Amino acid sequence: MARFEAPCTIEELCNSLKNKDNNTYIIAGGTDLIIHFNKKGIFGYNIIDLTKLKELKEINETDEEIIIGSCVTMTEIENNPLINAHVPALIDAVYNLGSQQIRNKATIGGNVANSSQSGDTIPVLFAYDANVEIIDPLGNRRIEKVENVVEGLEKNNLNFDEVITKIIIKKNNAKSAFSKIGSRKAVTISKLNCCVKIKINNNIIEDSVVYLGAVGPKPIRAKSIEEKILNKNINNIVSADIHDAIYMEIENAIPNRTSKHYKKSAAEGLIDDILNKLRR
């Protein structure tokens, strides 16, 4: 008989996790999971619903960190002044993530746990070297880098009875921006996405981090692009100046895929779009 549980406290969540089996699924927004059920023809499953857990629905800050509950929705992120001030690329990413109805339901923890190669928040979290807090049935909490948790192709390295509770991002003085390309601008799965995080002093880029998404199982760090823009004046860079670096990153990521030719040109346009955002 199918079982539905909606724990309201961490203690209740841990008790639910103790009874979790391979036919029990964790749900928050459900925007990815319901598609998975339909695609795989899965019926008669058990559900642990996380949406009653207040701790997982908050956005807080410390002197050094922004802490986002795993059940915070994309809409809540989009409208949050703390995230806008400290992680602007995440605002870009969630703004372009599906329709308004999807953003009202989809959660950041679900985006990480689903680990899609096209996930829009994931390149941003990689660029910010973000961590996740994970809880097990005994109430033990551990911290892991998002980059280690996400394996890609809808696989993560969580144990089957563990749950992501928080996303943790260190504050810094960096500027950042995100952009994506799909069949349509917003209501679409990314064919290519990118996050760029930089530190600027007198318009000179002193530090740069670039991640390209949807060019492999999970986002790749584009070090050739980083090196090309480092120590350059942000106002003078155009994608044509780093054309070779962009093409090399795509070639190295997907050398045997026919889509590489399209993605090389598309990546150049993405970088232009992001540089324009960073100049504002």
CATH label of the domain that carries residue 254: 3.30.390.50
Please report, for the domain that includes residue 53, its CATH number: 3.30.465.10
- Cα–Cα distances (Å) from 249 to 157, 190, 211, 260, 264, in that order, read 26, 18, 10, 10, 9
Looking at the structure, do residues 152 and 181 belong to the same domain, yes or no?
no
Max Cα separation, the chain? 64
Residue 277 clears pLDDT 70, i.e. is over it:
yes
Looking at the structure, do residues 122 and 181 belong to the same domain, yes or no?
no
Residue 234 clears pLDDT 80, i.e. is over it:
yes
- The per-residue pLDDT of the chain, averaged, comes to 93
Residue 183: the pLDDT is: 59
Looking at the structure, do residues 162 and 251 belong to the same domain, yes or no?
no
Looking at the structure, do residues 150 and 24 belong to the same domain, yes or no?
yes
Residue 11 burial by Cβ neighbours in a 10 Å radius (0-12, 13-18, 19+): exposed
Helices marked H in the chain — which ranges? Answer: 10-18, 33-40, 74-78, 81-86, 88-95, 100-105, 108-114, 121-127, 146-149, 223-229, 243-253, 260-278
Phi first, then psi: give them for residue 127, nearest 5 degrees: -60, -35
Structure tokens at 121: 């928040």
Reported as a pLDDT band with limits 50, 70 and 90, residue 184 is low
Average pLDDT score over residue span 153-171: 96
Residue 246: the pLDDT is: 95
Strand partners for 205:
200
% of the chain with per-residue pLDDT over 90: 82
Are 105 and 30 a contacting pair, CB within 8 Å?
A: yes
Residues 58-101 pLDDT 10s: 999 999 999 999 999 999 999 999 999 999 999 999 997 888 89
Looking at the structure, do residues 34 and 93 belong to the same domain, yes or no?
yes
Task: Name the residue among 154, 196, 213 with its Cα closest to residue 33.
Answer: 154
Looking at the structure, do residues 226 and 254 belong to the same domain, yes or no?
yes
Looking at the structure, do residues 268 and 157 belong to the same domain, yes or no?
no
Is the pTM higher than 0.75?
yes
Looking at the structure, do residues 268 and 248 belong to the same domain, yes or no?
yes
Looking at the structure, do residues 54 and 120 belong to the same domain, yes or no?
yes
Provide the 8-state DSSP code for 262.
H
Q: Is 34 left (phi over 0), alpha (psi -120 to 50) or beta?
A: alpha
Residues 2-48 pLDDT 10s: 789 999 999 999 999 999 998 899 999 888 777 777 776 767 789 99
Looking at the structure, do residues 156 and 265 belong to the same domain, yes or no?
no
Residue 20: the pLDDT is: 94
Cα–Cα distance, 245 to 221 (Å, whole number): 12
Q: Give the structural domain span for 188.
A: 175-278
Residue 73: the pLDDT is: 97
Looking at the structure, do residues 215 and 119 belong to the same domain, yes or no?
no
Are 250 and 266 a contacting pair, CB within 8 Å?
A: no
Count the domains in the chain. Answer: 2
Residue 33: the pLDDT is: 76
Cα–Cα distance, 31 to 100 (Å, whole number): 12
Provide the 8-state DSSP code for 199.
E
- Alpha carbon 19 to its chain's center: 29
- Among candidate residues 170, 194, 222, the one where a domain is terminated: 170
In this predicted structure, which of 67-71, 156-160, 185-189 has the lowest mean pLDDT?
A: 185-189
- Among candidate residues 130, 146, 170, the one where a domain is terminated: 170
Strand partners for 220:
212
CA atoms within 13 A on the CB side of 275: 24
Phi first, then psi: give them for residue 32, nearest 5 degrees: -90, -40
Residue 53: the pLDDT is: 98
- Among candidate residues 137, 170, 203, the one where a domain is terminated: 170
Average pLDDT score over residue span 216-222: 96
Looking at the structure, do residues 160 and 182 belong to the same domain, yes or no?
no
